[in-house]
Amino acid sequence: MSYFTDDTVVFYNGEWINAKDAQTSVYAQTLHYGNAVFEGIRAYATDYGCSIFKAHEHYERLEYSAKKMYIPFNYSVDTLIQLSYQLLEKNGLKDAYIRPLIFPEPNMSLMPVENANVLIAAWKWDRYLGSKLLNVMISSFERPNPKSCHVEAKVSGHYTNSILATTEAKHKGFDEALLLDMNGYLAEGPGANLFFEKDETLYTPALGNILPGITRATIIELANAMGYKVVEGQFKTEDLLAADSAFFTGTAAEVAGIQSVNGKAFNLKWEDSIGYQLSDAYQQLVVEKSVHNHPMI
C-alpha cells in the first residue's frame, strides 16, 4: 500500500514538508541498529470533527520509551497532540492512523546521541488485522526477554521479533502469531495484546513481559464497567486452548476476534462472546470518549 501521495504533508523536525521530500541519513543509528521509538495512534471522525483517542496516553508512552532508550525528546506531550491535530487537518484526514517516530541523528557508535529527528505522519489505515476472525498459531519465537531490553517500551528494533513471528505464521497458512514469554507463558501478539474468556471471566497476561497496551487498559475498564471480572496473570497455552473464546486488542487492530489457535477452534460463537460485546463497546467509546476529549469542545 502507498502511505502518501504527492500532496501528503508530514511534520519533520519542526517543519511541515511534503512526505515525498522527507529525507534521512543512511548513517542513521536507527537504520543500522534499530534504535528509535514510535507510537501508533488512531483518530476517529466524530459528530464534532476528528478526534484522537487517548492522545495523552500515547504521547506519554512515547516520552517514556524515548527516556528508556536515551533518545532526546524535546517536545511536550501537549505540543505533540496539537501538532497531530494540525497534521490531520493539513491532510484532510479524520479517520486516520498517526505515526510519530523519534529517531537519532547519524551515529555509527552504540552510544546515545544528542539530537533526534521527530517525524509525525498520518494515513488512512483499515483495521490492522482485518475484520474476519483470525486463525492464530503459537509462534516458535518468544517475546524478547525483559532482561535483554525494555519490553514495555515501544522501540523500533523490538519489531524484528514481531516481523519474524508474523512471517512464520503467514508462511504456515495462519493469519497471525501469538508469542509466549521466555518462561513459556502466554505473552502477546506481534502487535496486539491477548485476552481470552472462560466461564464468563476474562483472562489476560499480566504486565512484565508485554507491551502495556493502551487498548488493553481500555478493554479492562470497559469489561469491569460491564460487570465482567478480568484476571491478569500467567497463563499457559493449555489455558487458552481450553478457553471459550479469545481476541487481540491494539490501537491498529482494535478488537480482533480469534477463531482458532493451532487449528483448534473455540466453541463459543464470536457473536455470543464477551469479546464481541467489548468490540462494540470499544467502537462506541472511541467516538464518545473522543467527543469529551475534543479540544474544540
**Which residue is catalytic, options 132, 154, 170, 172?**
154
CB atoms closer than 10 angstroms to residue 219 = 27
Inter-residue contact 297 to 173 (CB < 8 Å):
no
Work out which of 10, 192, 240, 256 binds ligand PMP, going by CB under 6 A. Answer: 192
* 214 contributes a contact to ligand PMP by CB under 6 A: yes
Window 216 to 275, contacts with ligand PMP (CB under 6 A) = 216, 249-251
Q: Is 229 a catalytic residue?
A: no
Which grid cell is 22?
Answer: 522527507
* 191 contributes a contact to ligand PMP by CB under 6 A: yes
User: How many residues contact ligand PMP, by CB under 6 A?
Assistant: 13
Task: Give the separation between CA 25 and CA 83, rounded to whole angstroms.
Answer: 24
Which grid cell is 241?
Answer: 486452548
Task: Give the separation between CA 148 and CA 96, rounded to whole angstroms.
Answer: 34
* 156 contributes a contact to ligand PMP by CB under 6 A: no
Minimum gap (Å) between residue 244 Cβ and ligand PMP: 23
For ligand PMP, the closer CB: 176 or 197: 176
* 166 contributes a contact to ligand PMP by CB under 6 A: no
Inter-residue contact 40 to 73 (CB < 8 Å):
no
On the 0-12 / 13-18 / 19+ scale of CB atoms within 10 A, 267 is exposed
For ligand PMP, the closer CB: 249 or 273: 249
Burial call 14-51: b when 16+ CB within 10 Å, e when fewer: eeeeebeebeeeeebbbeeeebbbbbbbbbbebeebbb
Minimum gap (Å) between residue 57 Cβ and ligand PMP: 8
* 42 contributes a contact to ligand PMP by CB under 6 A: no
Minimum gap (Å) between residue 26 Cβ and ligand PMP: 26
For ligand PMP, the closer CB: 89 or 126: 126
Residues that bind ligand PMP (CB under 6 A): 40, 188, 191-193, 211, 213-216, 249-251
